[in-house]
Amino acid sequence: MTPTDRFVTRFAAEPPQDPLPYGRWAERLQEEILAAFLKIDDEGEDVGEPGEIVWHPDRTWDGRTYVPATSRTTTGLDLYGYVSFAPATEEHEPSDFFATADFATETAEQNPEWKLDVNDEVLGGWRGEDGNVAAMTLVWGRPLVSGGAIVTAELADLAVDQCTLIEDRFTLIAPDDYRGDTLHVKLWDARGDRLAVESLYE
């Protein structure tokens, strides 16, 4: 293989390791995310009360596992956030829990042109060549068109992460904003045909 001029980390996170949260584990994570929802700065908006928590696939990067969540509030806004923790070992249960959350006034129902409903949060950085730094970004959401099977994160058309849809949901951890390039999230069907593409910046 010839050398590449696009030297950037790819597939840095572990693929999902567990089913979507359920039972006592979902209850434990719900405690964390609800506490984060309560701390949101509402900026004068009537955010309302959280509804059902919708969990997304887990991803592990840099020694922590991230489980994103979304919820529709009683006033019709979208809450989004994640719970992170140090994963379990043979000797210890998951520990060092942390959760963060925010809200969005724009919803998929208000934007029928959307084909993917996407949330994102920067987790840290990856240092590349010549002082360039990529923003390692957690991206999660759901397709708004049918027939999808896999979602990829692409930087200048280079796949840097991918996730098989789990109950029509996905989670990615990928480098963004690197050398002037920004992430695009793409939905593919089982035959490899592209169904949708969304930029994090549109």
Give the pLDDT confidence of 114-128 residue by residue, as tens digits. 999 999 999 999 999
Give the pLDDT confidence of 137-192 residue by residue, as tens digits. 999 999 999 999 999 999 999 999 999 999 999 999 999 999 999 999 999 999 99
Q: Which residues contact 21 (CB under 8 A, 6 or more apart)?
A: 29, 55, 67
Q: Give, for 148, the enclosing helix (H) or strand (E).
A: none
Judged against a pLDDT cut of 80, whether residue 6 lies above it is answered with no
Instruction: Provide mean pLDDT across the span 29-38.
Output: 97
Please report which confidence band the pLDDT of residue 7 belongs to, taking 50, 70 and 90 as the band edges.
Answer: confident
Phi then psi dihedrals of residue 27, to 5 deg: -65, -40
Q: What is the pLDDT of residue 144?
A: 97
152 closest CA partner among 126, 184, 176 = 184
Q: Give, for 33, the enclosing helix (H) or strand (E).
A: helix 23-38
116 closest CA partner among 170, 196, 193 = 196
Q: What is the pLDDT of residue 16?
A: 97
User: What is residue 104's three-state secondary structure?
Assistant: strand
User: What is residue 171's three-state secondary structure?
Assistant: strand
